[in-house]
Amino acid sequence: MPSPTAAAGTRPHARERVDDGWSPPAIAPVAPEDEEPKLRTTVAIDASRTVIARNQSPDVPFDRSINPYRGCEHGCVYCFARPTHAWLGLSPGLDFETRLVAKPDAPALLRQELARKGYDCAPIALGTNTDPYQPIEREMRITRGILEVLAEHDHPVMIVTKSDLVVRDLDILAKMAARGLAKVGISVTTLDGALARTLEPRAPRPDKRLAAIRACVDAGVPASVLVAPVIPAINDHEIEPILEAAVAAGAESATWVMLRLPLEIAALVEEFLRAHFPDRADRVLSLVRQTRNGELYQAEWGTRMRGEGPYAQMIAQRFRAACRRLGLARRTVALDTSLFRAPGRAGAQLSLFGD
């Protein structure tokens, strides 16, 4: 992990927040005085020389991932990735939203890693830590570059995002999906525009995310919906409406995640709840503790994503019942790893003759 100085390199950038498509909103009007203040975003360059991260977690259906960016402009207070900014000497709070670290060399580094002798192909996940389609991607296009490399070598990819910007890359994803190489998951936390504006101030509106599901499906890309996170006493009543809206948009499968509050996130979320939901902050925290054996978080595999106890069991039962009623699968389609073609290694004479 590079130090903050090393990560910054010599190519910093500064950006001003621009219109994110919220005005005029299509769901639940937001008063001008409630709009988020403009934030100045700085972007440093990541000096890492590898790009594929590995994991051995039984809680996720992949063992490798790529995150083109550290930090995320969407500003979701509940984001479980916030503590990773502390590894860079930055705060999990405002720094996480405004002091980003980008990996513009990611496509080139990915090509090198795919070319390594003995590389074993398995689906690569994009968006497992921070969103690969956060606003900065419009300019830097790192995610698109990664997809171009994966498509060139018939390498399967799964994407998780809460942005409709994924639609920009359907020209790549549709061709990959036709070969069983791509699928997309769209996170929808709420259908209430005002609540979304509070929880996820700089993420695309809920209706735009549903439209992205429809666009993916229409292009032949398998799309799922993630009801994530389920926040007790805040959005838990929306599980069924979100799934119904996702089915109407063409979603083929669904999953959910309980609110997670690791490390610094617990204090940030508690402060947020008392500021924005003072009438129910104690109730929310109490229900969270009921899912975590009396604590605000448990990191153990098998329980950290869904929690335990009567409340967590009730949410799981509701989700399963809604999926059965709506015909939603709880597992997405498998991706094909048999088509992968490794890049030619530099200096390899056989590469002169092509495929």
Residue 7 main-chain phi, psi, to 5 deg: -65, -35
Q: What is the mean pLDDT of residues 49-72?
A: 89
pLDDT tens profile 216-232: 999 999 999 999 999 99
80 pLDDT more than 70: yes
Residue 4, both tokens: 């903050």
The amino acid at 195: L
pLDDT score for 88 = 87
pLDDT band for position 345 (cuts 50, 70, 90): low
Which residue, 41, 36, 5, is CA-closest to 138?
41
CB contact burial 177-203 (16+ within 10 A = b; e otherwise): beebbbbbbbbbbbbbbebbbbbbbbb
Q: In what order do the strands lie in the sheet with 223-230?
A: 53-54, 64-66, 124-126, 157-161, 182-187, 223-230, 253-258
Q: How far apart are CA 310 and CA 349, in angstroms?
A: 63
233 pLDDT more than 80: yes
Q: What is the mean pLDDT of residues 71-77?
A: 95
Residue 270, both tokens: 């508690």
Sign of torsion over alpha carbons 169, 108, 101, 226: positive
Domain-wise residue ranges, the chain:
43-332
> Which of 83-97, 146-160, 292-306, 314-328 has the weakest average pLDDT?
292-306
pLDDT score for 59 = 67
Q: What CA–CA distances, in Å, run from 254 to 91, 188, 238, 241?
A: 33, 11, 14, 13
The amino acid at 52: I
pLDDT band for position 34 (cuts 50, 70, 90): very low
13 pLDDT more than 90: no
Q: Give me the chain's average pLDDT, please.
A: 87
Identify any residues that bridge with 183 across adjacent strands, giving them in sequence order.
158
Classify 43-332 by CATH class: alpha beta
Longest Cα separation, the chain: 70
pLDDT band for position 40 (cuts 50, 70, 90): confident
In residues, how long is the chain? 355
pLDDT tens profile 236-277: 999 999 999 999 999 999 999 999 998 889 999 999 999 999
